């Protein structure tokens, strides 16, 4: 059994679920279209990324610990938010 701890970088990306309004993305898109430089861009989705550095026994535990932190601190609303987690060795 692996008892040593490893440093991980965990990225948590929080974005609106499909069908949920994204005013920030819409504002950026409207600004691009109004300026006329990037009229070929059809949609922009905004997201928030949190970057954690955590020491844990394995990737799965690092991911679950970070998700628990996010849940306990109510960093996102599970009814409207989609969460993607990426775990990499530091």
| C-alpha–C-alpha distance, residues 71 and 15, integer Å | 15
The domain tally of the chain equals: 1
| C-alpha–C-alpha distance, residues 65 and 75, integer Å | 14
Q: CATH code at 68? A: 3.30.1280.10
Could you read off the pLDDT of 71-87 as tens digits, one per residue?
Answer: 999 999 999 999 999 99
Indicate whether 1 belongs to any domain.
Answer: no
Domain housing 62: 6-89
Could you read off the pLDDT of 10-39 as tens digits, one per residue?
Answer: 999 999 999 999 999 999 999 888 788 788
Q: Which two tokens stand for residue 87?
A: 């775990």
Instruction: Give the per-residue pLDDT at 34.
Output: 78
Instruction: Give the per-residue pLDDT at 84.
Output: 97
Phi, psi at 81, each rounded to 5°: -110, 145
Q: Is the pLDDT of residue 1 over 60?
A: no
């Amino acid at each position: 059994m692996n008892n040593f701890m490893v440093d991980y970088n965990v990225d948590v990306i929080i974005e609106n679920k499909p069908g949920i309004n994204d005013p920030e993305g819409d504002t950026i898109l409207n600004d691009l279209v109004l300026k006329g430089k990037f009229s070929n861009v059809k949609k922009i989705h905004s997201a928030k990324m949190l970057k954690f550095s955590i020491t844990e026994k394995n990737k799965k535990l690092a991911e679950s610990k970070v998700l628990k932190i996010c849940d306990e601190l109510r960093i996102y609303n599970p009814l409207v938010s989609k969460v993607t987690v990426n775990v990499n060795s530091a």
